[in-house]
Each structure stands twice: as C-alpha cells, then as structure tokens.
Chain A
Amino acid sequence: MNTYTNFRVKAIQFWKRNKKRILIGIIIFLIILIINNVLKNMPKKLPEPSFSYKPHVAVLTDKEVPKKYQKPIEDLVDTYFNYCNNGEYENAYNLITDECKQAYYPTLEEFTGYVNHVFEGKKKIYSLQSYSIVNNIYVYQIKILDDFLATGTSEGYYYYEEKLILKEENGEMKLSIGEFISQDQPHIAVEDEYMKIEIFDRTIDYETETYRIKVTNKSDSNYIVLADGTQNNEVLLNLGSRKDNPSKVVDTFIVKPNGFRFETITFNKFFDDGNTSQGIYFGAVRILNNYDYSVGTTQEVLDSALKLYAMEIPLQ
C-alpha cells in the first residue's frame, strides 16, 4: 500500500471512529462563529448621555459629599419640598431642626408664611447643588422655580434661591432652612472697672453672624459710649487677618449710669469663607461724665472724657 492509500485508509478509519465527535466539534465551532457574528453586528450600545450636573460636588471646593450621606440628603430635601409643594405645612415643619424653628420660625404660622412666600401658591420644581462643606456641615444651594417645561418660561423667568444646611446628628440627617446654621449662648463675659460686657446669644447663618450683647454700667455717675456712629472702628468683628464693620451702623450703644443695655449687632460673614471670628472689638470706648444725645461725641466731649480706650471680647 502506498502512502496516499495508507493515508486514505487511516483517514476513513479515523472518520468512522470519531464521526460523532468531529460533527459535535464542527457544530460547536459553527455556533460560536454565529454568536460571534451576531454580537459583532448588534447595534453598539451608546454610553449614557454625559451631564455636567453633579449635585453632590461642592461648587466652591470641588469636594464631594460622602456617598453615605448623598441619598439621605436627597430624600430629606425631596420629602420636605413635596410637603411644601402640597401645602402639608405641618409635615414639612416637622422635618426642620428644633434649633432652626426656635430661631427663625417659632410658630407653624410663621413657617407657613415663609412657605407661601417662596412657593407663591404654585406647584414648583427645584434644583439642588452642593455648595460647600465646612466641619461636616453640608451647605446646599436650592433653586425653587416654576415648572419651566410646563410654562416655557412664559410666566416669568426667575427663581427663589437659598442655602439649605444639612448635618448629621445621632445618625440622622437634619435639615435647617432659611440659611440657618446654628444658635448658641456662649456665656462670654469681659469686665473692667467701668462695665461688664456679656455675649448672650450668637446666631450664625450662611451670610451673617449676629450677636446679642448686654453691657452693664458699673458706675453710678458715668456714661459709657460704645458706639454712636461718630467715631471710626467703634464696633468690629475681628477675623484675625482683618476686622469687619457690622452690616448696619450701630449708633446708639450708650449705657446710662447704673444702667444696662442689650444690643443686637450683625456682621456680614460667609460661613464658608475660611475665616474664624476671633472677637468683637470695641475700638472707641468712651467713659464720660455726661452725654448729650442730640450732639453725640464732639471733639470737646473727647477732650473732657474720663477715659478713652479699646477693648475686645474674645469669641474663642
């Protein structure tokens, strides 16, 4: 038998012995080939449309709110918003921190007034964006607007905007509205031979810090003039690197002999500006024998003053 004949015989024998296996192999190979072709010819799945909207990345710092807080924050804001939208004032009111209620909306009626002002009695939509993160306090910017898609902006193109403050307390996310951050009674007091100055309340919101200050005159004959709007630097907020004036001029911070006076002073200070309030600085304290309210502090008054000095109430 020559080689060719030998090969043929062997091939036929091989075929007979392995016919089944070869056929199964060919079938499997064809199936793989077909699946491969089908997959190759399937329409390509496009990536999700790209969006620049990143609600939990703070616009001021690019820092992201921790993932574990993102959903609770979204849910809380959404629930609060829907209650307001549906006029369920009490339910919405119950979602706000007690501290915020006490400081800004002590009654349900006051809160209802706020909601009606913001929502204008219309169905609104909102847009939420993380704004800044300071000491585990999450500041979000909320824009409350008409449903522009339903109106096409035909009824006006404006929106209401405020900062919502969210923080975790006892494992639960808490919401403050009206840009309210905190309120406390620091019980800070400074005393000298003429007077005692005490800070009773400190209210911090996103844009301001407000202090309620009590000054007690210890003398039975002298007037104490802390501010009457006539001198420079009468009241300043010491921020370390600079001192800022109050948002409104304090012009009647005068304490009569044996008297006391409460004064509320507000300073413009953004919560997330990176500065810490160091103290309240009184730069032109005048101890006078007498004070004429109609004249104020003249040069003559300054010349005859018992004492002129500056003092600071530390806030730290």
Chain B
Amino acid sequence: MKKKKIELNQKYLILIIIIIFLLIINLVLFLKRVIAPKQQEEQAITNSINNNKNKTKEYKVPQTDEEIKAYLATLKEGNRIEYYCGKFIKLIDEKEYEKAYKLLYSEFKQNYFPTIDDFIKYVENFYPQSYALEYDDIDRYNNIYVVRLKILDYNSSPSDEPKVQRVVIRENDYNDYVVSFQVVKEAEE
C-alpha cells in the first residue's frame, strides 16, 4: 500500500504549536480549578475535624507585623482601639516596660515620665498584682480616642470600687499608634 505523504507546511506547524500551548494552559487550569479545590475541601474537612478535637490548638494568634496588620484590617475602628489599648496594658502586665514605654506619646513622656524608671515606678504602684480589664467607654475627638477602662482587682473585696483608667490613643496606621494615659497622683507618689 502506498503511503500518503503528508506535506507539513509552515501554517500547520504554527497551528500545532498553538494547539499544544492551549492544551497545556487548559490542563493547568483544569488541575487548579478542579483538582485543587477538591484537595482544599478535603483539607478543610480534616481541619474542621481537628478543630473540633482541640479548638484552641488550631487558633492562630497573629504574630508577625504583617499578620497583625492583616488582622487589624478586619476589625472595626472601636475594636482596633481596644486592641491597641489591650496590647499596651498587656506589655505592662508582662513587665515588658521598655516596649510599653516606647509606645508613649513623646510629649506625654516629657511631661510625666522623663525616664523609663519613672514609668516603671508608676505602673508598678498603680496596677494590682492580678486584675482584669473592662472596656467602659470610648470617646473620639478627630483622630484621638479616649478609652475608659475599669481595672478589676482580683484581690480586692467585692464592695471595693474598681479603679478607673483613661487611656488616650492615636492610630497613625494599622499597628502604628501612640499612647498616653491618665496619671493618678496617688500612684505617682
């Protein structure tokens, strides 16, 4: 039988290359859109099962600056301010005084705590050994927020009035803020 010669001219060749290229793209898209979601779904089911086993174990606290910023971007204005306030108090609670001192507004520092030792002395006198915080109120004046906190001392008797602390915060950007707070004379001495 005589073989029929197939003459491949240049046009056919270009066409073949284009078709192969398109096939590759289609294959990639198929793998991404069809196979990957299935894997994700399976992964989600696995995660959900694991979460149910131990929820706290799977919860990821934002650690890096990027993660914190991304987390803050999901929060509303009031919640962001509460976050900053809580972060500042937590630093004091964990005796990370240097970090807390760095967050203070420069003029406030000059006015009330020219040295970090002044600051440490004050906060150690003011804050109880063990306490809980309750956010009472937030007022806003342009870009300045005044947060009213109640400090509930675990060691005080139930009849004792909780200490009240006003914390002033200005947010420049996500996770970029300055803090000052109401200095109570008694604790200063």
Interface residues of A (CB under 8 A from B): 1-3, 6-7, 10-11, 14, 17, 43-44, 46-47, 49-53, 55, 125-128, 143, 145, 147-154, 157, 159
Contact = CB atoms under 8 A, between A and B. Distances in A.
B50 to A, nearest CB: 27
A149 B180 CA distance: 6
Interface of B is mostly: mixed
Nearest to A3: B6
Measured as residues with beta carbon below 8 angstroms from the partner, the interface class of chain B is 35 or more
Contacts of B171: 49
Interface of B: 3, 5-10, 13, 66, 69-70, 72-73, 76-77, 80, 105, 107-108, 111-112, 140-144, 146, 166-168, 170-171, 173-174, 178, 180-184
A164 to B, nearest CB: 15
Contacts of B174: 46, 49
Nearest to B184: A154
Nearest to A156: B182
Contacts of B140: 52-53, 127
Contacts of B73: 46-47, 49
A154 B112 contact: yes
9 contacts: A3-B6, A14-B13, A53-B142, A125-B144, A126-B142, A148-B141, A149-B144, A153-B168, A154-B183
A37 to B, nearest CB: 14
A14 B144 CA distance: 70
A7 B8 contact: yes
A154 B183 CA distance: 5
A10 B9 CA distance: 7
Contacts of A10: 8-10, 13
A127 B13 contact: no
A53 B78 CA distance: 12
Contacts of A125: 141-142, 144
A38 B173 CA distance: 25
A154 B182 contact: yes
A128 B76 CA distance: 22
A149 B111 contact: no
Nearest to A152: B180
Contacts of B3: 2-3
A147 B69 CA distance: 27
A6 B166 contact: no
A14 B171 CA distance: 64
Nearest to B178: A149
Contact of B5 (A3, A14, A154): A3
Given A152-B181, A157-B146, A49 B80 contact: yes
Contacts of A147: 107
